[in-house]
């Protein structure tokens, strides 16, 4: 759960990176950082909190040069503290380098142990620092070859940006688990940008060029842009969770509109899990497109039955325990006018522990709904993610320990329905801009994508595309309290 942004060849590289990170803020809110280079000196500023708090104008002014990389972080490996904020920058025998990483390395602990045995001293708990040490000790001459050499030894998910004295290097892991795309600034064809999501290009006025291919490395320097594929070819496994929940709906990833994918998920959900109801409402904001799709397919009116507050501060002091359901009430409020006397379908993208869903169902019923039916636009979430999305351990995922009936009882809904794994994959594939019309979705005839093809869906299926063997030193991932 991180976002990366990079730019080459612009006199205001730090300012534009700031804007790019601002548009990627949904990918991580714990810390933010920018590194720049003017060809002689590397400049770095990082801090805890949101982009707008970490970068007052006087800080951005200090970041000089025409090359920049930036990072917003939500920790999945290493704790939430300043020393783990990115970019991570070091001086080593061959110069200076800064690295920004989205993803998670599954063999980081084993590599770290090996490196420490031969004398490396680590400054952070982050798996990303392993890459820097491997670059530093590589025997290759050119920096891009050193980066490729280092990445050839790591396993897991990475969309990686490296800033050197003279170049911006961008790499997507061989399975393409995390997204990474390329853009260009109009009127300046030598000014390239690279980002986790295309949605940030709109804000900075860049044109989308293409997604990086799985396993592709791009080097941008004064000689132009060079692309190579330094790793052996693998079948791609893009994280399908990006389409279900994580990415912004105005992004397009690997040819799939996130917004259309989510509407398709809702349409397919309406086919697989129908119910008689008067109104269908989303859990805002991420559940909105799927609810539109559900409403269209089921022919049930779409309404906003819950409103979300966007102003929940990080340092809010909770009043006494006696105010029940305070956490959810701080974020969501029911519109009784919409709910009273109605049979209501609530559409959400996923259920993690079930505690939030239970509070929402109770809130909607208390506002006067006569029936409350919960519909989830993804399958039951039973497995943790090891590739960079912050999920709880298996025992904390309600679907791994409870049957459908038990979940329905726990969240106190009148009925519950999840989308099937096949339905999820088909709905996302059908949103590809190269093709299949969304109107062909209800029966999905003619589109028979294998659930194993193209996507990682391990947190629902348990089919991990990269084996994860816990290392004795493996630090527990931090838990996400939903």
* Residue range at the interface with ligand SF4 (CB under 6 A); choices 58-66, 313-321, 450-458, 474-482: 450-458
Q: Residues 6 or more apart from 454 whose CB is under 8 A from it?
A: 235, 236, 237, 238, 425, 429
- Stretch 238-277 residues interacting with ligand SF4 (CB under 6 A): 239-241
Strand partners, 220: 168, 225
459 is an interface residue for ligand SF4 by CB under 6 A:
yes
Q: Say how many residues touch ligand SF4, by CB under 6 A.
A: 11
User: Could you give phi then psi for residue 217, rounded to 5 degrees?
Assistant: -120, 135
* Residue range at the interface with ligand SF4 (CB under 6 A); choices 42-50, 59-67, 124-132, 235-243: 235-243
Residue 180 C-beta: closest distance to ligand SF4, Å: 14
For 348, which DSSP code? Answer: E
User: Measured at the alpha carbon of residue 207, what is the angle toward residues 98 and 247, in degrees to the nearest 5?
Assistant: 65
397 is an interface residue for ligand SF4 by CB under 6 A:
no
Candidates 385, 425, 430, 477; binder of ligand SF4 (CB under 6 A) is 385
User: What strands, in cross-sheet order, belong to the sheet with 95-102?
Assistant: 88-92, 95-102, 159-164, 168-172, 217-221, 224-228
* Residue range at the interface with ligand SF4 (CB under 6 A); choices 72-80, 110-118, 297-305, 451-459: 451-459
Residue 258 C-beta: closest distance to ligand SF4, Å: 14
User: What's the CA gap between 330 and 310, in Å, rounded?
Assistant: 10
Pairing of strands 31-37, 42-48: antiparallel
Is 385 a catalytic site residue? no
Candidates 364, 458, 466, 477; binder of ligand SF4 (CB under 6 A) is 458
Nearest CB to ligand SF4, comparing residues 17 and 128: 128
456 is an interface residue for ligand SF4 by CB under 6 A:
yes
Question: What count of residues does the chain have?
Answer: 482
User: What's the CA gap between 234 and 34, in Å, rounded?
Assistant: 32
3-state secondary structure of 84: helix
Nearest CB to ligand SF4, comparing residues 13 and 76: 76
Contacts of 422-425 spanning 24+ positions with Cβ under 8 A? 422/451, 423/265, 423/268, 423/269, 423/271, 423/272, 424/240, 424/244, 424/265, 424/268, 424/377, 424/378, 424/379, 424/457, 424/460, 425/240, 425/449, 425/450, 425/451, 425/453, 425/454, 425/455, 425/457
* Residue range at the interface with ligand SF4 (CB under 6 A); choices 58-66, 237-245, 330-338, 354-362: 237-245
410 is an interface residue for ligand SF4 by CB under 6 A:
no
74 is an interface residue for ligand SF4 by CB under 6 A:
no
Nearest CB to ligand SF4, comparing residues 206 and 240: 240
Candidates 8, 259, 387, 418; binder of ligand SF4 (CB under 6 A) is 387
- The sign of the torsion formed by the CA atoms of 384, 390, 391, 392 equals positive
Candidates 389, 416, 428, 451; binder of ligand SF4 (CB under 6 A) is 389
Nearest CB to ligand SF4, comparing residues 105 and 115: 105
Residue 383 C-beta: closest distance to ligand SF4, Å: 7
Peptide bond into 437 cis (omega under 30): no
Q: Residues 6 or more apart from 301 whose CB is under 8 A from it?
A: 278, 279, 280, 295
Catalytic choice (2, 37, 273, 385): 2
Nearest CB to ligand SF4, comparing residues 34 and 253: 253
- Stretch 143-202 residues interacting with ligand SF4 (CB under 6 A): 177
Q: How far is CA 451 from CA 240, 326, 390, 422, in A?
A: 11, 39, 23, 6
- Asked whether 237 and 174 are in contact (CB, 8 A), the reply is no
* Residue range at the interface with ligand SF4 (CB under 6 A); choices 76-84, 180-188, 382-390, 438-446: 382-390
Nearest CB to ligand SF4, comparing residues 353 and 457: 457
* Residue range at the interface with ligand SF4 (CB under 6 A); choices 35-43, 85-93, 321-329, 384-392: 384-392
The catalytic residue positions are 2
The footprint of ligand SF4 (CB under 6 A) covers 177, 239-241, 385, 387, 389, 456-459
């Amino acid at each position: 759960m991180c976002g990366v942004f990079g730019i080459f060849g612009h006199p205001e590289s730090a300012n534009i990176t700031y804007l790019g990170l601002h548009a990627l803020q949904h990918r991580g809110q714990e810390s933010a950082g920018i590194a720049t280079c003017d060809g002689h000196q590397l400049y770095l500023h990082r801090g805890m909190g949101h982009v707008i708090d970490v970068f007052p104008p006087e800080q951005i002014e200090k970041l000089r040069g025409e090359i920049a990389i930036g990072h917003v972080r939500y920790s999945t490996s290493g704790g939430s503290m300043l020393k783990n904020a990115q970019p991570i920058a070091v001086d080593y025998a061959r110069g200076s380098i800064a690295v920004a990483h989205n993803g998670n390395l599954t063999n980081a602990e084993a590599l770290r142990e090996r490196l420490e045995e031969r004398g490396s001293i680590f400054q952070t708990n982050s798996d990303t620092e392993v890459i820097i040490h491997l670059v530093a000790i590589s025997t290759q001459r050119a920096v891009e070859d050193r980066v490729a050499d280092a990445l050839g030894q790591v396993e897991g998910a990475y969309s990686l940006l490296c800033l050197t004295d003279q170049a911006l290097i961008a790499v997507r892991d061989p399975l393409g688990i995390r997204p990474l795309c390329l853009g260009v600034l109009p009127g300046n064809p030598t000014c390239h940008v690279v980002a986790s999501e295309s949605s940030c290009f709109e804000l900075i006025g860049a044109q989308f060029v293409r997604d990086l291919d799985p396993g592709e490395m791009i080097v941008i320097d004064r000689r132009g842009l060079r692309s190579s594929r330094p790793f052996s070819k693998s079948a791609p496994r893009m994280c399908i969770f990006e389409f279900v929940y994580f990415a912004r709906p105005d992004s397009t990833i690997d040819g799939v509109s996130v917004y259309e994918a989510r509407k398709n998920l809702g349409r397919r959900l309406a086919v697989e899990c129908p119910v008689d109801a008067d109104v269908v409402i989303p859990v805002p904001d991420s559940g909105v497109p799927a609810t539109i799709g559900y409403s269209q397919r089921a022919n049930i009116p779409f309404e906003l039955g819950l409103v979300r507050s966007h102003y929940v501060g990080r340092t809010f002091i909770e009043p006494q325990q006696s105010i029940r359901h305070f956490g959810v009430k701080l974020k969501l409020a029911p519109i009784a006018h919409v709910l009273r006397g109605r049979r209501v379908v609530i559409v959400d993208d996923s259920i993690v522990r079930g505690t939030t869903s239970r509070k929402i169902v109770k809130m909607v019923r208390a506002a006067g709904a006569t029936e409350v039916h919960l519909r989830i636009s993804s399958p039951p979430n039973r497995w943790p993610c090891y590739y960079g999305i912050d999920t709880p351990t298996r025992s904390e995922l309600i679907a791994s320990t409870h049957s459908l009936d038990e979940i329905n009882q726990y969240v106190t809904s009148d009925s519950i329905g999840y989308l099937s794994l096949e339905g999820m994959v088909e709905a996302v594939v059908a949103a590809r801009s190269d093709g299949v019309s969304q109107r062909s979705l209800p029966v999905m005839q003619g589109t028979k994508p294998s659930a194993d093809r193209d996507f990682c869906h391990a947190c629902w299926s348990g089919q991990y595309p990269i084996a994860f063997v816990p290392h004795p030193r493996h630090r527990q991932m931090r838990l996400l309290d939903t």
